[in-house]
Structure 1
Amino acid sequence: GVDYLPWITVRDVPSDGRSHRVFGHKSQRTHHLLSDLELAVFLTLEWNSQTTDIREQFPLKREDTLDIAHENGIKHPVEAGVKLYMSSDFLVDGLDLQLPQYVIQAKYTNVLKDPRVIEKLEIERRYWLLKKVPWFLVTENDVSQMLVQNISWIYPAEQDEIEDEVLLDRTAYYSDLFQQNPNKTVTDICKLTDRIYNQPDGSSIYEIRQLLANRCFYFDMLSKPFHLLKGKDFVVENMGN
């Protein structure tokens, strides 16, 4: 939710790290993501209509992780003699009754070769096992870069406030336009529309971004980047629901 504070923020990591601060539309706050992989996972979670809340860098109770480490003969993370708090990358709430809450730890495959990393992951895995919350380890191999590229392109338009009537009118207009030009690329369709209506270049393409951000249209975001789409690739959502 809006009041959640991540245990680790972008300010806590080296400035040369690939960290990101991204506004979350579901939580209405800025999220602190500490790698490109975390950003990719976040965007995928944020785009998923089943997701209701995302808490990144979620702290684990230190007394519990200390107990788990002791019982399993694993050295607990420590710095300058102080036992550190551990955290999970994402605690996610959702609408799926089979999976109402789950945890994701995002790690690049190259760091999984380090035995110490595996030990710390094992503490975390056992922590969530005791809490009866499903825990998933996600690597760059589990994330579709095409999906992330498309979501990244659409995502900023989610913050635009547009009246329902305008969305309906634009959806009907572009739906007709796509049906009339099934084999033209969306970029060509938009250039033509801007020229016909004497609009600034990019006006139509931005309106389509807004419609996609509001789920008025769908396309297969795993198959190709947005700019290569053709009119026939867009499927209008049933706006009567």
Structure 2
Amino acid sequence: MAKNKYSPSETKYKRWIKEGRGNGHGIDYLPWITVRDIPSDGRSHRVFGHKSQRTHHLLSDLELAVFLTLEWRSDTKDIREQFPLERQDTLNIALDNGIKHPTQAGVNLYMSSDFVIDSSDPSRQQYVIQAKYSQFLADPRVIEKLEIERRYWRLKKIPWFLVTELNVSPILTQNISWLYPAERDEIDDDVLLERTAFYGELFLQNPTRAVTDICKQLDSSYNQPVGSSIYEIRQLLANRCFYFDMSQPFHLLKGQDFMVENMGNLIGSRDVSNQ
């Protein structure tokens, strides 16, 4: 009987290595596993990364939530998802610790970490995240494989973290998901400054009014299509012109909840990132 197209094989691994999977940085990185390499259950995602300027392959909703959170962090420089571990190293770790190495159909699998992150934080310039739903942590076999991965990165002297859905704020993820697409909008610095000053003054004049009500009145007063003002604010927030408590639902925020960024620093950082 023919092998399932998703089944591992040494021939497939050799082809992936030849393709350069697991190598490169930024726009040139190729993930070891893509959404096309696993059976589709509707929970995988292909998402454009603003920092890497490429499409990222995420294999669960949890991975998507972690990815969006990492993308939003100002100190994140690069995110490499589905990063392969050197197989001989994981085989040695498994043997030394009496753990059965992952295999399928007689093939020793390449293990992978969900995210390898490069950061501008001098105290942690690189770290690794494995995203796993908490329900799977009751499985001893899952714990064994996580232990191989943990020991692998410890040998590399790179911090490794296990993240579950319990560590990810649903509201934070919803806010980032709402803002994220607007990061791709190209807006001139002069327009950002003008709009920030305009909305900043509007928020000061309406400190206790909900931002949604402020926008509805503004659209009506200027005879604009409904939603025009809220989209401009969305663009400003995506460009970090204002800050707000991302742990709070956006639609509940009031004028007083928005803080203006130092625009000199903002424009400077935009100039650097666009070079």
What 5-or-longer segments of structure 2 have no aligned partner?
1-25, 266-275
- 2:253 equivalent to 1:232: no
In the TM superposition, residue 96 of structure 1 has moved relative to its aligned partner by 0.7
CA displacement 1:114-159 (0-9 Å, x = unmatched): 0110010011001000000000001111111111111111111000
- 2:163 equivalent to 1:126: no
The aligned residue for residue 37 of structure 1 is 62
- 2:86 equivalent to 1:61: yes
- 2:173 equivalent to 1:148: yes
Rounded Cα–Cα distance in structure 2 between residues aligned with 1:12 and 1:203: 41
Give the structure-1-normalised TM-score. 0.98
In the TM superposition, residue 17 of structure 1 has moved relative to its aligned partner by 4.2
The letter for the 2-side match of 1:48 is R
In the TM superposition, residue 13 of structure 1 has moved relative to its aligned partner by 2.1
CA displacement 1:165-197 (0-9 Å, x = unmatched): 000000000000111111111111111111111
Rounded Cα–Cα distance in structure 2 between residues aligned with 1:171 and 1:125: 45
CA displacement 1:10-68 (0-9 Å, x = unmatched): 11222214111111000001111111111111011000001000000000011111111
CA displacement 1:198-239 (0-9 Å, x = unmatched): 1111111000000001000000011x2111111111110011
Alignment of 1:1-241 (within 5 A): 1-222=26-247, 224-241=248-265
Rounded Cα–Cα distance in structure 1 between residues aligned with 2:42 and 2:237: 32
Rounded Cα–Cα distance in structure 2 between residues aligned with 1:225 and 1:148: 10
Rounded Cα–Cα distance in structure 1 between residues aligned with 2:165 and 2:221: 43
The letter for the 1-side match of 2:87 is R
Give the structure-2-normalised TM-score. 0.86
CA RMSD between the two structures: 0.8
What 5-or-longer segments of structure 1 have no aligned partner?
none
Q: In terms of mean alpha carbon deviation, does 16-25 or 170-179 score higher?
A: 16-25
Please say if residues 58 and 87 of structure 1, whose CA atoms lie closer than 8 Å, have aligned partners that are also in contact. Answer: yes
Rounded Cα–Cα distance in structure 2 between residues aligned with 1:204 and 1:87: 44
Which is bigger in relative contact order (C-alpha 8 A, separation at least 6)? 1
- The ranges of structure 1 where at least 4 consecutive aligned residues each deviate by more than 4 angstroms after the TM superposition are none
Rounded Cα–Cα distance in structure 2 between residues aligned with 1:197 and 1:139: 46
The letter for the 2-side match of 1:14 is P
CA displacement 1:53-106 (0-9 Å, x = unmatched): 000000001111111111111111111111110000000000111100000000
Please say if residues 155 and 213 of structure 1, whose CA atoms lie closer than 8 Å, have aligned partners that are also in contact. Answer: yes
- Number of corresponding residues: 240
Rounded Cα–Cα distance in structure 2 between residues aligned with 1:111 and 1:28: 33
